C-alpha cells in the first residue's frame, strides 16, 4: 500500500519532469526558430544557390545556362581576377600584421596606467567609429596630391610631394595607413585582454626577479594569445572583404592597383550582370577564407593559451 503510493508519486513526478523537459525542448527550438528560418533563407539557401550558379552563365535577362567549370577556367586567364586577388592578398598579409602590432602597442601603452589614460583611450578609439563612407571621403581629401594634409605634412618635413592614391605603388600602402588609423576596436579587445590577466602572475614574477621585458614576454603575450588569435582570424576575414573604401576613394584605380576582390566581384554581379561568374568568384573567396581560418584554428593549439573552459 505504502509502496504503491510512493511509486505513484515518483512516477507522477517523473512524468511531470519529462513534460517539463519536453516543454523545454519544444520552446528551445521555437525560440530559435526565427534564426533557423533566417539561416536557411538568407545564409544556407543562398550559399547552395551560389554554389549552383557558379557553374552557370547568367545575365538575369536570358535564362541561365549550365557551363560546367568554364567560370573557374576563365578565372585562371582573367588578368583582373589575378590582379584583384593579388591586391587583396597584399592588403591582408601586410595590413593585418601591422594592425595587430599597432593595436597591441597602443593597448600596452594605455595599460601602463599613465595619467589621462581615459582621454588617450578615447582618442585612440574614436577614429575606428568613423563611418566607412565618411572615412573614405576624408582620406581621399587627406591624400589629395595638390592640397591634401598628407602632402602638407611631407612639405613641413621638407620631403617631396607624393601622388598617394594616384600612385600605383603607394595606393595600397595608403589604404593600410587608413586601416591603422581605424585599429581602435582591436585595441579595445587587447585592453580587455590585458585587464583580464590576474595580478598574481605579475607579482609572482616580480618576486622571481623578472623585469618589465621578461614579464611582457612571458606573461602578457602568452595570456593575450586568445585575443591575438581572435583579432588575427577576424582581421583576415575582414580584410579579404575590403570594399567601401576602395569603391569610394579610388574606384579600383590607379591601373587596378586598388581593385580589391570584393570590388571586382561586385562589378561582375551588378555592373556587368555576370551572376554566374560573380558566384564562382564568391565561392573562391569563401574557400580561400575558410582555408585560412582552418589553418589558424589548426595551429591554434600550438600557440594559443586557454585557461580552463567554463562549464555548463
Partner 1 sequence: MSQAIYERSAGARTGQRENAWYRVLKLLGKLLLQALLITTSFSMLLPMLWLISTSLKVSGKEWAFPPQLIPNPVAWSNYVDFMRELPVPFYKYILNTVTITTFATLGTVLTSSLAAFSFARLRFWGRNRVFILVISTMMLPGAVTMVPTFLIFKTLGWLDSFLPLTVPYWFGGTAFSIFLLRQFFLSLPYELDEAARMDGASNFWIFLRVIMPLARPAVASVVIFQVLDHWNAFMGPLIYINSQQKYTLTLALRTFQNTRSQRINYLMAASMIQVLPVVVLFFTAQRYFIRGISVTGLAGR
Please give the helix or strand (H or E) that residue 57 lies within, else none: strand 56-57
222 binds partner 1 (CB under 8 A): no
Q: Which listed residue (31, 79, 158, 302) binds partner 1 by CB under 8 A?
A: 31
Nearer to partner 1, 303 or 306 (CB): 306
Give the angle 180-144-271 at the CA atoms, nearest 5°. 80
Confirm if 252 and 259 have CB atoms less than 8 A apart. yes
6 binds partner 1 (CB under 8 A): no
Cis bond before residue 164 (omega within 30° of 0):
no
244 binds partner 1 (CB under 8 A): yes
Nearer to partner 1, 147 or 213 (CB): 147
CA separation for the pair 193, 221 (Å, rounded): 10
Subset of residues 202 to 221 that bind partner 1, contact rule: CB under 8 A: none
174 binds partner 1 (CB under 8 A): no
Subset of residues 151 to 170 that bind partner 1, contact rule: CB under 8 A: 151-152, 155-156
CA separation for the pair 254, 171 (Å, rounded): 8
Instruction: Fill in the DSSP letter of residue 309.
Output: P
Tell me, by CB under 8 A, how many residues bind partner 1: 96
Subset of residues 81 to 120 that bind partner 1, contact rule: CB under 8 A: 106, 109-110, 112, 114-116, 119-120
240 binds partner 1 (CB under 8 A): yes
Nearer to partner 1, 7 or 131 (CB): 131
53 binds partner 1 (CB under 8 A): yes
Nearer to partner 1, 3 or 63 (CB): 63
Nearer to partner 1, 7 or 49 (CB): 49
Nearest distance from C-beta of residue 264 to partner 1, angstroms:
11
Confirm if 241 and 264 have CB atoms less than 8 A apart. no
Nearer to partner 1, 7 or 290 (CB): 290
303 binds partner 1 (CB under 8 A): no
Other beta carbons within 10 Å of 201:
15
Other beta carbons within 10 Å of 4:
8
| DSSP state letters, 121-133 | HHHHHGGGGS-HH
Nearest distance from C-beta of residue 286 to partner 1, angstroms:
4
66 binds partner 1 (CB under 8 A): no
Q: Which listed residue (9, 12, 82, 126) binds partner 1 by CB under 8 A?
A: 126
Nearer to partner 1, 97 or 152 (CB): 152
Residue 276 C-alpha cell reads as: 554566374
Confirm if 142 and 148 have CB atoms less than 8 A apart. yes
Nearer to partner 1, 257 or 268 (CB): 268
CA distances from 53 to 147, 264, 271 (A): 47, 17, 17
Nearest distance from C-beta of residue 201 to partner 1, angstroms:
19
Q: Which listed residue (11, 18, 23, 214) binds partner 1 by CB under 8 A?
A: 23
Residue 124 C-alpha cell reads as: 585612440
Q: Which listed residue (111, 127, 166, 221) binds partner 1 by CB under 8 A?
A: 127
Measure CA 139 to chain center. 21
Nearest residue to 231 (alpha-carbon basis) of 89, 107, 113: 107
248 binds partner 1 (CB under 8 A): yes
User: 81 CB contacts (<8 Å, ≥6 apart)?
Assistant: 75, 264, 281
Amino acid at each position: 500500500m505504502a509502496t504503491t503510493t510512493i511509486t505513484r508519486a515518483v512516477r507522477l513526478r517523473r512524468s511531470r519532469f519529462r513534460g517539463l523537459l519536453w516543454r523545454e525542448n519544444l520552446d528551445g527550438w521555437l525560440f530559435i526558430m526565427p534564426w533557423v528560418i533566417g539561416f536557411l533563407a538568407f545564409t544556407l539557401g543562398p550559399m547552395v544557390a551560389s554554389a549552383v550558379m557558379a557553374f552557370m552563365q547568367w545575365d538575369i535577362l536570358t535564362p541561365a545556362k549550365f557551363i560546367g567549370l568554364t567560370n573557374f577556367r576563365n578565372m585562371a586567364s582573367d588578368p583582373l581576377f589575378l590582379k584583384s586577388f593579388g591586391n587583396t592578398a597584399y592588403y591582408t598579409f601586410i595590413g593585418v600584421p601591422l594592425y595587430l602590432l599597432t593595436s597591441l602597442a597602443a593597448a600596452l601603452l594605455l595599460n601602463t596606467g599613465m595619467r589621462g589614460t581615459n582621454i588617450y583611450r578615447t582618442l585612440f578609439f574614436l577614429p575606428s567609429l568613423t563611418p566607412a563612407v565618411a572615412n573614405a571621403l576624408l582620406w581621399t581629401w587627406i591624400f589629395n596630391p595638390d592640397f591634401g594634409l598628407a602632402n602638407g605634412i611631407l612639405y613641413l618635413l621638407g620631403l617631396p610631394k607624393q601622388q598617394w592614391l594616384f600612385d600605383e605603388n603607394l595606393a595600397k600602402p595608403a589604404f593600410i595607413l587608413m586601416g591603422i588609423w581605424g585599429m581602435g576596436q582591436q585595441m579595445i579587445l587587447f585592453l580587455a585582454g590585458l585587464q583580464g590577466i590576474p595580478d598574481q602572475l605579475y607579482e609572482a614574477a616580480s618576486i622571481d626577479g623578472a623585469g618589465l621585458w621578461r614579464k611582457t614576454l612571458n606573461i602578457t603575450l602568452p595570456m593575450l594569445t586568445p585575443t591575438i588569435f581572435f583579432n588575427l582570424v577576424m582581421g583576415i576575414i575582414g580584410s579579404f572583404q575590403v570594399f567601401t573604401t576602395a569603391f569610394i576613394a579610388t574606384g579600383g584605380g590607379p591601373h587596378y592597383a586598388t581593385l580589391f576582390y570584393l570590388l571586382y566581384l561586385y562589378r561582375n554581379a551588378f555592373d556587368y550582370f555576370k551572376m554566374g561568374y560573380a558566384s564562382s568568384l564568391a565561392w573562391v573567396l569563401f574557400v580561400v577564407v575558410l582555408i585560412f581560418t582552418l589553418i589558424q584554428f589548426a595551429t591554434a593549439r600550438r600557440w594559443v593559451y586557454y585557461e580552463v573552459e567554463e562549464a555548463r
